[in-house]
Amino acid sequence: MMAAWLHDVAGLRVPAPRITRGRRPLWAYVWPAGLVLAEMVARELAPQLAGRKVLELGCGLGAVGLSAAKVGALVTLVDREPEALVEVQRIAAENSLTVQTQQLEWSRVPEALVGAFEVVLGADIVYDPSQLTPMLGAIQTLLAPGGCAYLADPDRAIPGSLAETARQMGMVFEHLRTVTDPPAVPTSDESHKQPVHVYRLTSS
């Protein structure tokens, strides 16, 4: 049996669940990039998120989206794995937060979510080069006019590929910061040793 871990994320209690058999799935970790973006949400982004419709894409355990909910955003968390969404709702309840959840494939955004969000958040979701265009397409589809997305990537994206693909799709791409010493949390790799880059994307 794989033990549970309890993380303090921007003042929230976010447990990674106990796994009774097999390997821990990727959604069941709190990743360093998620911690970096969650802290950014809780601090400098908080004033612009309060009262806004916000979506976390590929939420996993929801550290980023729950941080947005804590500062007063109206949050929807989406993931392709239904087990992750069940866990997110449990964690939200433990932190006295109310959020919406929905299963979502990047290539099939439900009509009800098209253009529905002022801000999209995503942490460590650009590790598969073949999914880069579908992921950015989902962001474009989900964002309302004038909206923006914040992505945190632990140096997984092929250098320049994220920026170039975003620009080819008509998005403005900005590198906001690099965190060279992200939090060291248990993961399935050593991503805490990688710098975390934070980007902002807006429609041009």
Q: What is the pLDDT of residue 4?
A: 56
In angstroms, the CA 80 to CA 121 distance is: 15
Helix axes 161-168, 132-142, angle to 10 degrees: 50
Q: What is the pLDDT of residue 24?
A: 79
Q: What is the pLDDT of residue 20?
A: 65
Q: What is the pLDDT of residue 23?
A: 78
**Tens of each residue's pLDDT in the chain, 204 residues:** 344 567 788 889 898 877 766 677 888 888 999 999 999 999 999 999 999 999 999 999 999 999 999 999 999 999 999 999 999 999 999 999 999 999 999 999 999 999 999 999 999 998 788 889 999 999 999 999 999 999 999 988 776 889 999 999 999 999 999 999 888 887 767 777 889 999 999 986
pTM of structure? 0.93
Q: What is the pLDDT of residue 21?
A: 67
Helix axes 63-70, 32-42, angle to 10 degrees: 10
